Structure 1
Amino acid sequence: MSDSLPEVILYTDGACSGNPGPGGWGALLLWKGKEKEITGGAPDSTNNRMEMKAVIEGLKALNKPCHVKIHSDSALIVNTFKQGWIKNWQKKGWKKSNKKPVENRDLWEEMLKAMEPHKIDWIKVKGHADNQLNNRVDELAVRASQKFK
């Protein structure tokens, strides 16, 4: 893909009240000085599923191929792609190195599909720290989860 793709900054976060429990996710898309917040949730979910859903829905909100810089405080998600875990899982029939099935395969596959048209950069941010935009999507996720209590 060429670097002429529009650049979009995507901040994502998930939250769960109990794990499992009522969950919520939040995503913030930034493009050319514009902002778009999206949120959602589920009555019975896990923190990892909500983190993943935030990335998926953020990517699905884009209507054309973009260079997306995804900022997440989920080490699981960032490492899955930056360290190539996902390729190994796929090669091994969605099994981890301990031979156990990969959790949340449905959402990993949905995320891969949502990523297809885009060039993706993964950026790990520290959660619950001084990153205002990450704190903002955390608040969106927590608020969304509270709707299911």
Structure 2
Amino acid sequence: MISIFTDGAASGNPGPGGYGVILKSGDHYKEISEGFRHTTNNRMELMAVCVGLESIKKINQEITVFSDSKYVIDSIEKKWVFGWVKKGFAGKKNKDLWLRYLQSHKIHQVKFVWVKGHAGHPENERCDELAVIASKGKNLNIDSVFEMENKSQKLL
């Protein structure tokens, strides 16, 4: 059994953002984080899940993802994302990340558990800390899909 804890953050929303991930399985423990110069909280929440799942090297693993994001959990658990796929994501944001998530969804047995954010859950608190630190980094990455979509919308 593998546990993945995730959190995302963005200051200004959109603004500088980051995600934090903790992977735990038996004695194994790994932290991952990354910051972006211009993104949204929802993108970082979803990217954390994607990165966590993509970090699992063996296929068909039993994985529990712990997240404080109702956006992510409800979209998956209530199967909204599968309806969005059928409609070509018409009017929906973060298509690139949802498609990325669905690649991992196909190859693992994933279940989700919602945890209340900022409520003392140790791994959630640590993921939040990782996300915030990453968002304040000096050399932030470019969330190219988000920035291109925003640039396109401004030109219309």
Q: TM-score, normalised by structure 1?
A: 0.89
Shift of 1:74: 0.3
> Structure 2 stretches of 5 or more lacking a match?
141-156
1:41–1:50 CA contact under 8 A, matched in 2 = no
1:24–1:144 CA contact under 8 A, matched in 2 = yes
Query: CA-to-partner distance for each residue in 1:82-134, whole Å, 9 max, x for gaps?
Result: 11101111222223xxxxx1101111001111222110001011001021111
Task: Report 1:79-94 matches (<5 A).
Answer: 79-94=74-89
Residue 56 of structure 1 pairs with residue 46 of structure 2: no
Shift of 1:60: 1.0
CA RMSD of aligned residues (A): 1.2
Correspondence for 2:36? 42
Query: In the comparison of the two structures, how many residue pairs are matched?
Result: 138
2:16–2:135 CA contact under 8 A, matched in 1 = yes
Moved over 6 A (4+): none
Correspondence for 2:118? 128
Question: Aligned partners of 1:130, 1:41: CA distance in 2, in Å?
Answer: 23
1:67–1:119 CA contact under 8 A, matched in 2 = yes
Shift of 1:17: 1.3
2:35–2:136 CA contact under 8 A, matched in 1 = no
Overall identity of the aligned pairs, in %? 41
> Structure 1 stretches of 5 or more lacking a match?
1-6, 96-100
* Larger relative helix fraction: 2
**SS of the counterpart of 2:107?**
coil
Task: Report 1:1-149 matches (<5 A).
Answer: 7-65=1-59, 66-95=61-90, 101-148=91-138
**SS of the counterpart of 1:25?**
strand
